[in-house]
Amino acid sequence: MFHTALHHARTLGARFATPIWILLLIVSATVFVMRHGAEAIRGLGAIAQSDPRWVIAVLAAGEKPPASPSDEPISPALHKLERDLARQTRKYHLGVRGGVGLDPELVMVGAQGEFGPFAGGKLAARPSLELGFGEVTDFVAVNLEGIFRMPFADRNNWAFYAGGGLGLNFTKLGFAVETEEEDINFDDFEFDTGLNIVAGAIARSGVFMEVRAAAYSKPSIQLVVGYSF
């Protein structure tokens, strides 16, 4: 008789154990969501596929589980590095540039293209078009240049480059003088070719700074800043 009563007690306990365990799990999950939010539950779901017992232990302790690898956010610095590397590996670039010219004094604006790299990633062709505006001199320049670029160092955001090429310059010299007797207008158009020598530095982001010296043409010195897309 004692064994029969013990058997009934075990059967009754088994019937109520599962509902009670489920109820405790629901209550623990509710408290867990209130403390840590729904994102933690999604992390538990990913981990529960491999070990459900770990989920039960975490719910009972009330601790927030570590994020799964797929849920970990990517840092903005890593996103920026990916964009910079993608830009550097393209075979062509367009850019804008501006600066000042010396002898004569001019304000410069222009655009450029870059094609390459060639020869192991160090040489590139870089034609550009520039407009210059000054008090007496206005000009249009077509520059056919090539550059040799140093590689970026591991922890350096800037790389140096140097190069040169042919410059085709169309220059207009003009001024006007008004007097009581007459008005004097002077215009003169010139075309010349020169040798350009450039040196500068470019950042991983595409910003660059450059110095250009011209032989046999003007302006003889240009200070340029720009951005290569």
Crossing angle of helices 2-36 and 52-61, in 10° steps, is 70
DSSP 217: S
With helix as H, strand as E and coil as C, how does 79-146 read? HHHHHHHHHHCCCEEEEEEEEEEECCCEEEEEEEEEEEEECCCCEEEEEEEEEEECCCEEEEEEEEEE
Contact of 102 with 211, CB cutoff 8 Å? no
Domains (ranges, CATH) in the chain?
2-71 (no CATH), 79-228 (2.40.160.20)
Summarize pLDDT for 106-138 with one digit per residue, the tens: 999 999 999 987 877 789 999 999 999 998 889
pLDDT of 221 strictly over 70 = yes
Q: Residue 3: which pLDDT band, with cuts at 50, 70 and 90?
A: very low
Residue 200's region, left for phi above 0, alpha for psi from -120 to 50, else beta, is: beta
Whole-prediction pTM: 0.61
209 to 6, 99, 186: CA distances (angstroms): 90, 10, 36
Summarize pLDDT for 29-83 with one digit per residue, the tens: 565 555 555 555 555 555 445 555 554 555 555 555 555 555 556 677 666 667 6
